[in-house]
Amino acid sequence: MAFTDTARTLRIMVQATALLSLIGAAGAAVSAEADPAAASATGQLLGAKQSSHPDWFKESFLDIAEDVEEAADAGRHVILFLEMNGCPYCYKMIEENFKGSDYSEWLQERFDVIALNVRGDREVAMDADTMMSEKALAEALGVRYTPTVIFLDQANEPVARVNGYRNAADFKQVLDYVDAQTYQSQTLADYLDSQNAETATAGSDGLRDHDQIREAADVGDLSAIDGPLLLLFEDAACGACDALHDGHLKAPEVIEALKPYTVVRVDTLSDAAFTGPDGEPTTGAQLADDLGIEYRPTLVLMDGPAGGKDEIARIESMLYRYHFVGLLEYVGLGKYRDFPDGPFDYINDKTAKLTAAGEDVSISDE
């Protein structure tokens, strides 16, 4: 199977997280910050961050098949790290995972990392029959957010994909999965489920309470819900879920953005029965599998009348507050009807209006 055909099987539906258009604008805003007078009449877009790559990232001639062959000879895998200048999520992943984690030396020994600019013009040869620019490759791979991390096996086939930022612990699970070649016998979703189940069994504080969250088993029939529905996929071993509860879910602007929704938590490790949004009997584990949920927490944002729900967007990686609220508004306020091409169009429009009114907008919280 050709590389581009295989890549299609790894795509997640076009859902915006770290939004390319907005981050591209943030990159341009760096120059505006350097010249405040040029931006005095309008608000500024803040929060763009630029990181330098570790010196052990591979200096590739962008003949990826050749890179894969060299890595295979050394018993390593190739990672394609698709990034964008100014992207705060790329910055965070490089600084915390590739540079600052306690496994960075091990990662350097086990993987060859090749950085690609999703708006770059360098020619990339994926194999003898597939050559295109970096930005064309990003489009062919369905990249809609940065960073996107694609793992190649030793036959130059994609075997795992990470969409958006992952904290160091969660990213290490994916690295272990690829390094041990577990992809030969198990999907990444099943592998992560087994890892999380073991952690939950070993001991966990359980799922967190929140005034706006109802449990799927308590709701009973999700297909009877009318209007915006937010499915929050969690499990009892999810450290990033704790960060979500301690961060965004306590913020007044997030609480406000959640008001249009019926918020239902789905425990991905549960076999408790309920009726899914499609009216079919299911369990938390089954619904997560049916929707291709790999990462926790994942928020699936749906809308429509009772019995006719459609998924509009999903949040499946860490987001800063501005993006997180924008995604919630996109579905909860019905903005997807005005901006059918995706959440980033709505958020860009919102940003333009805010900056035109003289307000500064920060796309990162740190």
Evaluate whether 248 touches 206 at the Cβ level (below 8 Å): no
Q: Which long-range contacts (CB under 8 A, 24 or more apart) does 350-359 make?
A: 350/326, 351/22, 351/25, 351/45, 354/43, 355/42, 355/43, 355/44, 355/45, 356/42, 356/43, 357/43, 358/41, 358/42, 358/43, 359/43
Backbone dihedral angles phi then psi of residue 227, each to the nearest 5 degrees: 90, -170
Q: What is the pLDDT of residue 270?
A: 92
Q: What is the pLDDT of residue 195?
A: 83
Place of tokens 């990686």: 317
Evaluate whether 78 touches 64 at the Cβ level (below 8 Å): yes
Lowest model confidence (mean pLDDT) among 40-44, 125-129, 263-267, 268-272: 40-44
The beta strands (E) that lie in 186-307 are given as 213-215, 229-234, 262-267, 273-275, 281-283, 298-303
**pLDDT tens digit string along 315-335?**
999 899 999 999 999 999 999
Q: Is residue 229 predicted with pLDDT exceeding 50?
A: yes
SS3 for 321-335, per residue? HHHHHHHHHHHHCCH
- In this structure, what DSSP letter does residue 37 have? G
Place of tokens 């969660």: 170
Q: Is residue 204 predicted with pLDDT exceeding 70?
A: no
Looking at per-residue pLDDT, the higher value among 246 and 237 belongs to: 246
pLDDT class of 199 with cuts at 50, 70, 90 = low
- Which of 7-21, 24-38, 138-152, 189-203 tops mean pLDDT? 138-152
Q: Is residue 39 predicted with pLDDT exceeding 70?
A: no
C-alpha pair distances (Å), 222 with each of 87, 214, 218: 37, 11, 10
Q: What is the pLDDT of residue 239?
A: 83
Q: Is residue 231 predicted with pLDDT exceeding 50?
A: yes
Q: Is residue 90 predicted with pLDDT exceeding 70?
A: yes
**pTM of full prediction above 0.75:** yes
Evaluate whether 185 touches 159 at the Cβ level (below 8 Å): no
Rounded mean pLDDT, 225-245: 93
Place of tokens 């729900």: 309
- The span from the CA of 26 to the CA of 322, in Å, is 13
**Mean pLDDT of the chain, nearest integer:** 88
Q: How many residues can be counted in the chain?
A: 366
Place of tokens 């499946």: 316
Rounded mean pLDDT, 143-148: 88
Q: Is residue 15 predicted with pLDDT exceeding 80?
A: no
Q: Is residue 36 predicted with pLDDT exceeding 90?
A: no
Which residues are registered as beta bridge partners of 301?
230, 313
Buried b vs exposed e over 178-192: b needs ≥16 C-beta within 10 Å?
A: bbeebbeeebbeebb
Q: For residue 36, is the peptide bond before it cis, meaning its omega torsion is within 30 degrees of 0?
A: no
pLDDT class of 18 with cuts at 50, 70, 90 = very low
Q: Is residue 59 predicted with pLDDT exceeding 80?
A: yes
- The span from the CA of 115 to the CA of 167, in Å, is 19
Q: What is the pLDDT of residue 198?
A: 66
Measured from the Cβ of residue 206, the count of other Cβ atoms closer than 10 Å reads 10
pLDDT class of 32 with cuts at 50, 70, 90 = very low
Q: Which residue segments constitute the domains of the chain, with CATH numbers given?
A: 3-185 (3.40.30.10), 213-333 (3.40.30.10)
**Number of helices followed by number of strands (H, E) in the chain:** 14, 15
Q: Is residue 159 predicted with pLDDT exceeding 60?
A: yes
Q: What is the pLDDT of residue 341?
A: 86
Q: Is residue 181 predicted with pLDDT exceeding 50?
A: yes
Beta pairing class for 77-83 and 111-117:
parallel
> Which has the closest alpha carbon to 79: 8, 171, 185, 188?
171
Q: What is the pLDDT of residue 214?
A: 97
- The span from the CA of 25 to the CA of 270, in Å, is 42
C-alpha pair distances (Å), 181 with each of 76, 184, 191, 236: 10, 6, 11, 27
Backbone dihedral angles phi then psi of residue 114, each to the nearest 5 degrees: -115, 120
- The span from the CA of 118 to the CA of 115, in Å, is 10
Q: What is the pLDDT of residue 70?
A: 97
| Percent of residues, the chain, with pLDDT higher than 70 | 86
Rounded mean pLDDT, 298-321: 95
**pLDDT tens digit string along 284-294?**
999 999 999 98
**Could you tell me the end-to-end alpha-carbon distance of the chain, in angstroms, rounded to an integer?**
43
